[in-house]
């Protein structure tokens, strides 16, 4: 049985929302091919569903990297 | 005419709370139904003719529980169904358990409760029921697939229920506002919509968003038969 890496799990979840095979913590999440406001909304919903945090559109607008999103979700790493 | 008795769901906040306050403030009796007992108790504490029932209306058997509590009030003059929630998500991220609960609270509960009302004839002459829908039921608002489906279901209920209950002297009305300033709005679209989307929405409300009490005033007018739905 392996140890779950919360950041690895978060990166996987972000990649799924952004419809890319993988993404790194220091990557700009807006740089994905399908980026748009619906994806920003999807990130808000994913963080709410999986991490119980109520993130706003303003929070997403202020974020630059996937690592910023992890902070919003309360994921350490 | 003596005091009339009502049941108001969603009475813990927002439109339901505002409707309950208007009804109780004019001296009528009301059963207040919602999940949050502390909020219901605080509201009821100011009104001797208020009764409360803390109940999750998405749960099986909820209509029976409300019916049992309502029976103590005597013949009902009105039923206002404001209870509900929204769990906005892109359609690919909808959680089935949330979607089931949305259908259950928004549409299944009032279907079963109106059925009890019709079956038991436990209503006063000229009783009315107000079902709450939303502009979202018919507009393509992103993120509202499950919520709009549930509100579409209650609109379907409205049409049949109105036809079946009219011969029994019960008026069924549908109240379908666009955006109202409530906790639910603040927790959903006000929090998650892009600035552009918010500007689009606010452009439809040049005088500002209606308050929960503004919506409640319209609902009470419908209950009293002063407005056509």
Q: SS3 for B154-214, per residue?
A: HHHHHHHHHHHHHHHCCEEEEECCCCCECHHHHHCHHHHCCHHHHHHHHHCCCCCCCEHHH
Strands B29-34 and B171-175: unpaired
Instruction: Read off the pLDDT of residues B170-187 as tens digits, 9 standing for 90 and up.
Output: 999 999 999 999 999 999
What pLDDT was estimated at residue B141? 84
Residue of A49, A50, A62, A63 to mutate, interface with B, max B Cβ within 10 Å: A49
Instruction: Read off the pLDDT of residues A53-70 as tens digits, 9 standing for 90 and up.
Output: 999 999 999 999 999 999
Q: What was the ipTM of the complex prediction?
A: 0.91
**Domains of chain A in sequence order:** 6-73 (1.10.1200.10)
Interior/surface letters A6-28, b for 16+ CB within 10 angstroms, e for the rest: eeeebbebbbebbebeebebebe
B90 touches chain A (CB under 8 A): yes
A57 DSSP assignment: H
Residue of B191, B197, B200 to mutate, interface with A, max A Cβ within 10 Å: B191
Structure tokens at B208: 């500002």
The string of DSSP codes covering B210-228 is: PBHHHHHHHHHHHHTTSS-
């Amino acid at each position: 049985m392996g140890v779950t890496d919360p950041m690895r799990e978060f990166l996987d979840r972000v990649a799924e929302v952004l419809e890319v095979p993988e993404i790194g913590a220091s990557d700009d999440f807006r740089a994905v091919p399908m980026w748009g406001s619906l994806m920003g909304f999807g990130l808000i919903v994913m963080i709410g569903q999986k991490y119980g945090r109520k993130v706003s559109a303003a929070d997403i607008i202020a974020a630059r990297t996937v690592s910023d999103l992890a902070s919003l979700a309360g994921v350490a790493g | 005419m003596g005091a009339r008795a009502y049941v108001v769901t969603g009475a813990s906040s927002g439109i339901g709370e505002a409707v309950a306050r208007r009804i109780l403030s004019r001296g009528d009796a009301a059963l207040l139904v919602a999940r949050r007992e502390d909020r219901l108790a605080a509201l009821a504490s100011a009104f001797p003719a208020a009764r409360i029932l803390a109940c999750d209306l998405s749960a099986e058997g909820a209509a029976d529980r409300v019916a049992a509590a309502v029976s103590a009030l005597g013949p009902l003059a009105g039923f206002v169904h404001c209870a509900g929630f929204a769990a906005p998500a892109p359609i690919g991220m909808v959680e089935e358990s949330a979607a089931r609960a949305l259908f259950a609270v928004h549409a299944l509960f009032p279907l079963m409760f109106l059925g009890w009302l019709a079956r038991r004839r436990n209503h006063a002459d000229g009783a009315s029921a107000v079902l709450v829908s939303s502009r979202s039921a018919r507009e393509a608002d992103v993120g509202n697939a499950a919520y709009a489906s549930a509100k579409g279901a209650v609109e379907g209920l409205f049409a049949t229920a109105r036809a079946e209950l009219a011969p029994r002297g019960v008026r069924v009305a549908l109240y379908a506002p666009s955006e109202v300033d409530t906790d639910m709005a603040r927790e959903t679209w006000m929090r998650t919509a892009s600035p552009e989307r918010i500007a689009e929405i606010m452009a439809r409300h040049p005088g500002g968003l209606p308050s929960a009490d503004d919506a409640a005033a319209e609902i009470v007018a419908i209950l009293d038969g002063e407005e056509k739905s």
